[in-house]
Chain A
Amino acid sequence: MENQALLERFQNYVDAENKIEAKDWMPDGYRKTLVRQIAQHAHSEVVGMLPEGNWISRAPSLRRKAILISKVQDEAGHGLYLYSACETLGVERDALIEELLSGKAKYSSIFNYPTVSWADIGAIGWLVDGAAIVNQVSLQRTSYGPYSRAMVRICKEESFHQRQGYEIMIALAKNGNEAQKRMAQEAFNRWWWPSLMMFGPSDSASAHSGQNMAWKIKRHSNDELRQKFVDMTVPQAEYLGLTIPDKDLKWNESTGHYDFGEIDWTEFNEVVKGNGPCNKQRLQTRNKAHEEGAWVREAAMAYARKQEERQAVSAA
């Protein structure tokens, strides 16, 4: 049983908008939630490298190829910062990666959808990085200091990704030929709904929301963030001349927001459960890279040990 006085002091501290740091006392539940959430975020960055990496070798120009490599490389960097943020909570990166590889840990379901055309690369940058930004801007104010700081750093790069994605969409949907326009619309149709699903279950169905809001781990509800994303994205889609694949979408004068149709929660739940188009493939790919890299990591450790011994001998 945790000390009631400590819990109260913690809550007051958080309520006063102070940041919790690694060495501060924190409730077990707070620590557990953060580890789960930051690890999921880290895994999402790493798994997210795969659908986009899928088009590096086929990027249509030298410039697009370079931008895409550097984007996917940024995501690897985000994974690293986030694993480090998790380590401040006492969980090692290796242990986290084991959980990803065994299928025990979750990552963002969006990356279980396939990238079947070049336009998907534009749509991901625009919509998926766009949705990530909405979520992460909110998380910049999360109560855990190392996570909050990682978000500030990551958001800058994500907004770069979002602009580059949108730029791809402009080239295709606005300035492209008929085939490119079709490619853009088809990609938009594929990614629109999964992007809305990125914000998670609706508030009425969200399991951990209440306590996470009280601890200020989460600062806005799933539905609030989703609405923000829709309001931001619809005018961008209109500018591109794309049709939003939702017959219920319309501007609501009285709320000042766009109304939109019901998300297919059956699809959402199936993908979360592992039945999305690419869940198995993504995990297999990560596992393959990990297994094939085992000898490299072992060699690096063996070499580092030898070097230490050599230095010890020469110092003696």
Chain B
Amino acid sequence: MSNQVYNTYLLRLADDTLILGQRLSEWCGHGPILEEDIALSNIALDYIGQSTNVYKQLASLVNDGRDEDAIALTRMESEYVNALMMELPNGDYGTTIARQYYYSSFYLLYLEQLKNSSDHFLAGFAEKSIKEVKYHLQHATDWILRLGDGTPESHSRMQHAVNGLWPYLGELFHDDETDMEAVKEGWGVSREALKTAWTNRVNAVFAEAGLTVPSEAWYHSGGRKGSHTEHMGFLLAEMQFLQRAFPGAKW
């Protein structure tokens, strides 16, 4: 297999989970109820743990003197390849839940395929992460139902949230050259192939929650190529602050 393709594949996985974990952890201390501070922190911890494992693997493959922290925390913005959805601000609780629901429902299907990867590391990573992501999806589904079918206010906020994030979903399901190469070589997952199962699942949950599934086909993209939203620079400024202020320091 091509190292370049494999490393890019790993980097996307790591960046998706790091950036989403970074965003989610912003809720810690600010949630609507203490139980949710705990739940969201838990999920953020899972993502950060997952990304750490992948960055470590990447560091050992690239072997250029950078450790997982140097890779995670010192790149330029254009070198981050997360999907745009991850870097969007949290918004209200409904928006955070909508993103959690969209991403975990996609991610679980993705990991269930990745588990069969011919690549030892990725298969193991998927196996381990599935347990966590099942819980994330359960948590998000419970809240989609509560908020979608709660009060008129929560219903309209939830509908607004799922509509607002919809145009960021396409990027998750798009197979570009890297994905296609990975699929061809037997160690990657076709994202597009997950679409039908995903749509069925979302239709069922949204129907139960009384939410309308958006239908717009057009979507935002660019994250996989390092072209980000205006929010990313601020996220990185915070996340990289100490690494940049004290280059090479150990913590």
Measuring CB to CB, which residues of chain A are less than 8 angstroms from any residue of chain B? 46, 49-50, 53, 56-66, 69-70, 72-73, 76-77, 79-80, 83, 118, 168, 171-172, 175-177, 179-180, 285, 288-289, 292-300, 302-303, 306
Distance to closest chain A CB from B13 (angstroms): 15
| Cβ < 8 Å to A, chain B residues 26-76 | 26, 28-38, 41-42, 44-45, 48-49, 51-52, 55, 68-69, 72-73
Determine the main DSSP class of A at the interface with B.
Answer: helix
B34 near A60 with CB under 8 A, answer no
A80 near B34 with CB under 8 A, answer yes
Per the bound structure, the CA–CA distance linking A125 and B38 in Å amounts to 19
Q: With A80-B38, A303-B146 given, can you name 14 additional A-B contacts, CB distance below 8 Å? A: A50-B29, A57-B26, A57-B239, A58-B239, A60-B249, A62-B52, A66-B45, A66-B49, A73-B45, A285-B29, A292-B32, A299-B151, A300-B150, A306-B149
B35 near A80 with CB under 8 A, answer yes
A285 near B30 with CB under 8 A, answer yes
Distance to closest chain A CB from B149 (angstroms): 6
B134 within 8 A of A: no
B147 within 8 A of A: yes
Distance to closest chain A CB from B234 (angstroms): 10
A65 near B48 with CB under 8 A, answer yes
Per the bound structure, the CA–CA distance linking A179 and B37 in Å amounts to 34
Residue of B nearest to A51 (CB): B29
The interface-forming segment of B162-170, B186-194, B240-248 is B240-248
User: Given A69-B48, A298-B154, A299-B147 in contact, is the A62-B72 Cβ separation under 8 Å?
Assistant: yes
Q: In the complex, which of the residues A61, A172, A180 contacts B69, with contact meaning CB atoms closer than 8 Å?
A: A61
A60 near B153 with CB under 8 A, answer no
User: Given A72-B29, A171-B251, A293-B33 in contact, is the A299-B154 Cβ separation under 8 Å?
Assistant: yes
A69 near B30 with CB under 8 A, answer no
A296 near B93 with CB under 8 A, answer yes
Of B18, B25, B145, B246, the most chain A CB neighbours within 10 A belong to: B25
B242 near A300 with CB under 8 A, answer no
A73 near B150 with CB under 8 A, answer no
Distance to closest chain B CB from A170 (angstroms): 11
Per the bound structure, the CA–CA distance linking A76 and B49 in Å amounts to 20
User: Given A60-B251, A62-B51, A177-B246 in contact, is the A73-B151 Cβ separation under 8 Å?
Assistant: no
B25 near A297 with CB under 8 A, answer no
| Cβ < 8 Å to A, chain B residues 134-175 | 145-147, 149-151, 153-154, 157
User: Given A61-B73, A62-B68 in contact, is the A73-B48 Cβ separation under 8 Å?
Assistant: no
B28 near A56 with CB under 8 A, answer yes
Distance to closest chain B CB from A291 (angstroms): 10
Residue of B nearest to A290 (CB): B32
A302 near B150 with CB under 8 A, answer yes
Q: In the complex, which of the residues B41, B55, B241 contacts A58, with contact meaning CB atoms closer than 8 Å?
A: B241
Per the bound structure, the CA–CA distance linking A79 and B94 in Å amounts to 24
Per the bound structure, the CA–CA distance linking A73 and B35 in Å amounts to 10
Per the bound structure, the CA–CA distance linking A83 and B242 in Å amounts to 36
B22 near A303 with CB under 8 A, answer no
Of B29, B32, B73, B151, the most chain A CB neighbours within 10 A belong to: B29
Question: Residues of A contacting B242 with CB < 8 Å?
Answer: 58-60, 118
User: Given A79-B34, A80-B35, A303-B149 in contact, is the A176-B250 Cβ separation under 8 Å?
Assistant: yes
Distance to closest chain A CB from B167 (angstroms): 24
Per the bound structure, the CA–CA distance linking A60 and B17 in Å amounts to 17
Per the bound structure, the CA–CA distance linking A144 and B33 in Å amounts to 27
Residue of A nearest to B67 (CB): A61
B216 within 8 A of A: no
Q: In the complex, which of the residues A79, A180, A295 contacts B153, with contact meaning CB atoms closer than 8 Å?
A: A295
Q: In the complex, which of the residues B30, B52, B73, B239 contacts A289, with contact meaning CB atoms closer than 8 Å?
A: B30
Per the bound structure, the CA–CA distance linking A58 and B242 in Å amounts to 7
Per the bound structure, the CA–CA distance linking A53 and B27 in Å amounts to 9
Per the bound structure, the CA–CA distance linking A295 and B148 in Å amounts to 12
Closest 5 CB pairs of A and B: A293-B32, A299-B150, A299-B154, A53-B29, A296-B32
B92 within 8 A of A: yes
B33 near A296 with CB under 8 A, answer yes
B32 near A76 with CB under 8 A, answer no
B177 within 8 A of A: no
Distance to closest chain B CB from A64 (angstroms): 6
Between A and B, 29 residue pairs with Cβ closer than 8 Å are: A57-B22, A57-B239, A58-B238, A58-B239, A58-B241, A60-B73, A62-B73, A69-B44, A70-B45, A76-B28, A76-B34, A168-B251, A177-B246, A180-B246, A289-B29, A293-B32, A293-B93, A294-B32, A295-B154, A296-B93, A296-B147, A297-B32, A299-B151, A299-B154, A302-B151, A303-B145, A303-B146, A303-B149, A306-B149
Of B52, B250, B251, the most chain A CB neighbours within 10 A belong to: B251
A76 near B37 with CB under 8 A, answer yes
Question: Residues of B contacting A177 with CB < 8 Å?
Answer: 246, 249
Distance to closest chain B CB from A20 (angstroms): 26
Distance to closest chain A CB from B201 (angstroms): 20
User: Given A72-B28, A177-B246, A296-B32 in contact, is the A62-B93 Cβ separation under 8 Å?
Assistant: no
A69 near B28 with CB under 8 A, answer yes
